[in-house]
Each structure stands twice: as structure tokens, then as C-alpha cells.
Chain A
Amino acid sequence: MPILELKFIVDGTAELMMHPARFQILQYLREAGEPRYVDQIAKAKDIHPRMVSHHLDVLQEQGLIECKHELQKVNGSNREVAVRWSWTTDKAEKVIEDIRESMKVGKDER
């Protein structure tokens, strides 16, 4: 497939995932297959929780993940805190598919 037909490569969405931390976070959410909250992602990927929140904001703005806030007791705490659950969307899968395809095109061209 010609690279210009790969929608998410052309519109720049794929480039957002070129950021190492964003790519790691998205991969982690995909592999988890279920919603994860900020502290879980931060611990798993060794990224500062505020940076995780920032990257989630970026990914959410691009429609690559969806988020939901819930009050919940975490880490054995007695009081409930607001937790942000995040999970990947179908669009994220399509973007990753486009990236894979573009890498194949790049390899063939070489």
C-alpha cells in the first residue's frame, strides 16, 4: 500500500506516538486489555504520574484512548480518591496498524 494512503501517517496522528513515553503508555494499555489508572501506569513504566497524566491528556485529545474518573479506595487507603481509568480505542489499533504498514513500505523501498 502506498504510504500516502495510510490515513493516520498522513494526518500526523502516528507521529504523536513517536514520543517514547507516549508509545510505552499506549503499548501498556493495549497489552493490559483492560482499564488502568494513572498510578498503575506510572509504576509499571517508571514515568512520573504527572507526566503520565499529561500524556494521557494528549492521547485522549487525539481519540487514541478513553478515560473515566471514579472515586475509589486505592493502595489500602481508607478514604476515596479520584482515579482516572484509561483504555485504548479502536482508533489506536488502526494507527498502530498504519505504523506497521508504513514500516513495511519503508523496508520494501530499502
Chain B
Amino acid sequence: MLVSNTTIELIYLVATALFILALKWLSSPSTARRGVWAGELGMLIAVAGTLLHHGIVDYKWLVIALVLGSIVGVPLGLVHMTAVPQRTALSHAFGALCVTLVGTAEFYLRAPAVPPLMMLVLAMEVILGSLTFTGSLMAAGKLQEVLPQRPITYKGQNVVNLGVLAGAVGVAGYLVAHPYHTSLFPFIIGVPLLFGVLMIIPIGGADMPTVISLLNSYAGLSAAAMGFVLDSKLLIIAGALDGASGFILSVNMSKAMNRSFSNVLFGAFGQVQAAAHGTAEARPVKSASAEEAAAILAAANKVVIVPGYGMAVAQAQHKVRELYDALTKRGVDVKFGIHPVAGRMPGHMNVLLAEADIPYDRLVDMDELNPEFPQTDVVLVIGANDVTNPAARSDPSSPIYGMPILDVDKARTVMVIKRGMSPGFAGIDNPLYYLDKTLMLFGDAKQFVGAIVREFAGGGGHG
């Protein structure tokens, strides 16, 4: 039951079209699931077509590998929504592993007579693949908290990192000119593997959305390079789409953190954390109880809830949904303000809130929501800090000066659920907390929101 190469190429052509349609349909939540089906269909026909390739002589290992991969894949598809960032990082690692292994095998099949251009794309494939592999594993380890999350920085770090990368590129350049020195090939795998580790060492949790996007882009580009090596247009296109997607997300994330793109490209993350340790004198704040907070919320017409990573850590999203229901029932207009870098990966907050059954049309992007804050009665900040810090707008000495923020300080009343007065992840003091209109609600996010909900259910009634 073998089919001709032309037939396989035509199948790949259809698969390519389905892949592009898959991403096109992802533009809106109403058509997005159709996009997944298109992607699945494209994948299915491409794999089926490949299995009919006439060059394949032994199916035993193929079947074992496909079954084994599915067994590994199913639990990775069923992880809890809060674990999605580390799952994503892990899948970047798997993708990069596949590309690196194939590149390595292709090199040794062709060696020692590898034409220079072929050697060039092979080198790009394995360098990008192996640095993405260890980089993504490190990122996944930090997100899963198996590795210390604190960024580790030292003097001259960028010089060391760039030196290591330059070493790998140098060896690759030498191999392009002298491909018969096959003993050098392991270096263009080993050195980038080391670089991947070094690259992630200075990364802190707040930088993760940018880093995951960047690794996504690298994984895509390495797959595209593999497409060049194998002369597979399907793979080139899929890799280019993935690379473009990761690139757009990285640019979005770096804009949302007010970092230049070159800053992102050269991996100079984690510097803000190191720079920030300023004034931390005890200033007076106003605090309130759950009962008072419930009364203020009940009197409001327009409420905006601003969730951050703290909400995910406290697993408070389901309690937040109960609060949303209680307020909506009373006729209060409730929206959620989503900062692009809230959480640990792009879109993280949206997924968590959607999981808690909050309608997606209530989740509003920063740019769209900011003009509405002056007309907002109450803002409730849950587990977010730096993305609400007005110093980013007003204080040029602040390390986050210039970063776009949610203008929550323009609302009439601001309530902030926070464990204590310790500064946020980046170690930056937040002047928002000392405003006259701000009430601090001290406690665990889940318990505090739960207490507010109980006030509504019990004491409030219809008055």
C-alpha cells in the first residue's frame, strides 16, 4: 500500500493549508475549537502519509515510538490549568529534543562530505535545538519550583553567556568550512546545551512570560532549520509559523515590561530585580475587614477585578468566580483587568479565569480598560503588584518606570488583597498602597475572597 512521492507531497500541501487555517480560526474564541480540529486533521493526514513513504523498511520501532509518545503525551495534555506554564516549557524542550536528535543523525549520515550550505543549516538546527532544550528544561524546573526561582546574577554574566554562545557559533563556522572535522560536531551540541542552562540562570519568575515566548520562537526556528535540511516545505512552514508566533508574543511581552527587544534577544533578564532595593520606610496604610470590603463592593455600580500571579498561587480563581456571581446578581457591572504579563506566560490569567467559568467577554485587555478606570467605583486587586504600580507612570527613578500599567489608582476606591506589606516579586515598593483611597485587605487571597462572598450570602440579603 505504498503511495508515490507526489501523492505524499500533495498530502503535505493539504496539511499545510489546514495548519494555516488552524491559526486563522484561533483569532476568535467562537471559531477557535474549529482551529484545533483543522490542526489535528492536518497532523493526522501528514503522519499517515509519511507512514506510507516507500523508503520505510521497518515499522516495528515506529509503532513502539508512536505508542510510547502518546502514552507520555496524554498526561501532559491533562495537567491542571495552573501547571500550564511549566507544561508549555516542557513541550518546548521535547520539540527541541526531537529537532536536535534528527539533526545529529542527519549529520552522521551525510558526514564527512557535507556541503557548506547544508552544514550551515544543520548547525543552526542543532545549535537552536540544543539551547532550547536545556533552556526550556530549566524554565520548566523553575516554574515547577524544582529549581530555585530566585534569579542568580553575577558580574560579567552577559559576557560569559555571550562568550559561550560565540564559541558554539565559532565552531559551527569552522565546521562549515571544514566539514570533514567531524570530531568537532559534538561541540555544537554540547556548548549550546550549556548556554541554555546559563541563559535561564538569571531569570526570575516575573520574566517568565517573555522567556517562554522566546523559547517558543527558538523551537519554531530550529524546526524550520530542520525543514531546510530535510527539504520539507511542510516543516519549514510549520516552523516559520511557530517562530513568528513566539516572536510576536516575545515582542508583546517585552513591550508590556518596557524592555527593548534587543534587551530580550540578548537574554539580559533579571536586571531589574538586582537594581531594586530602595526606600522601605514604614508608611501608614488603611486596612479593612471582609465585612467592610463587602459593603463597599455592594454599594458600587462598576467594579474591576485585577488578578495577578498571586491569585493563581492561592488557587483563588473559583472563589473569585463566586464573588463575580454574587456581584453580578446584585446588578453590579464586573470586569476583569488583564495585564499582558500577569502570570507566568502570555494569556495565563485568561485561562485560569475561563476555567473558573467566568465569561471571556468580561476579561478585558489593559489598553481597552485603562480609559474606563476614572468611571470605576471599586478596583479589587488580587495577587497583582507591579502591574498596578503608579510609580511606573510618575517616578523616573523607579526600576519599572515607563512600563505600561493598569491605571487602577484612577478609580474611586482601590482595595488590595495582600498577605502583608512586603514588597512584590521585583522588590519594588508600590505607592498605590499609601493612597487615601486605598484599602489594604490583609490575608490569603482565597480565604479573603471567600470571606467577602460569605458576607454577601449571609448578612447582606437584598438590602
Tell me, yes or no, whether A binds B: no
